[in-house]
Structure formats: structure tokens, C-alpha cells
Amino acid sequence: MDLVDLAFLAMGAPADGGEGGEAPPGGGFGGLLLPLMLGGLILVFWMMSRRNKKQQGKVEDFRNTLTIGTRVMTLGGMIGVISDIHGDIVTLKSPGGDESAYTRRAIREAVTDEMWEAMLEPVSVDDLSDSEPEDNDQSQADQPEAGESEDPTK
């Protein structure tokens, strides 16, 4: 038997391709293949959904238990300390002293001590890059003056 014959048997058709044999009642193995595949897909999606719901529940619990003084990070990456909470509005104070208001849903996670200390460390220009920045723009000398055409043939 080759792969083609096995495929025909899996579908419940006779292996010789003729119409001489009848498929067993219930469609043979091919009758079970489709329901087994669908059942497996449903199981996988259910397990993924369950895991996502658990994770969302943990995030909602965290957001509902926010307190003044907690160090947090927003979805946009702003790091600050909660200075005020009014219902669904949370006011964050940045390490520089600026205050910004966010909704509870914008709070992503609590900030670890290492992240907070890294925010407070001063950064010098020398720390950012050792090489000169590349200038991809054309210089002013290469730009045509007003009224001049960019095409030299005109």
C-alpha cells in the first residue's frame, strides 16, 4: 500500500478507486477523522481562552488594588508613583516631579526597584553613544534654491 491508498482508506473509499466496495457503516476511519480534528481544535482554543481569562483577571485585580505610593508603569511606558486616585482616574508623579492623570486601564504593571533606580540615574550624552550620529539628510548646499529646478537638464 502506498500513501494514496492509505488516504483513500482514511476517507472511507475503496483503495482501488473503483465503486465496487462499499464504505463501512459510519464512514470508516475517515468518519472519525474530521470530528477528532475539530474536537482537538476546540480543545486548544478553549485552553488558550482560559489562560487569557486568568491573566486578565490578575491584571484587573492588580488595577483594582492600586494604592497611593505604588510605583507603576503605564501602557505607554511612563514610570511614576501614584500620588492620587479618584475613582477610575490615577494621578502619577514622575521622577522629575511632573504629574499626569491616567485611567486605571492605562496602568500596566508595578515597577521593580531595579527599574526605579535606573530611572533615577542621571544619563550623560557620552553614555548614549560613542559614535557620531549619521546624517542621512542632504545638506543645505545640495538643496536647490527657490525657483531652481532639481533636474539639471531643464
Write out pLDDT tens, residues 18-53: 554 555 555 556 678 888 888 999 999 989 988 888
Q: With respect to residue 154, please indicate whether it lies within any of the assigned structural domains.
A: no
Same domain, 47 and 89: no
Cell numbers at 89, concatenated: 482616574
- Give the model's pLDDT for residue 41: 93
Same domain, 77 and 36: no
- Give the model's pLDDT for residue 3: 60
Q: With respect to residue 105, please indicate whether it lies within any of the assigned structural domains.
A: yes
- Give the model's pLDDT for residue 89: 93
Cβ 105 vs Cβ 63: under 8 Å:
yes
Show the domain range for 57: 7-14+27-64
Same domain, 98 and 118: yes
What's the total number of domains in the chain?
A: 2
Q: How far is CA 32 from CA 15, 39, 45, in A?
A: 18, 11, 20
Q: With respect to residue 85, please indicate whether it lies within any of the assigned structural domains.
A: yes
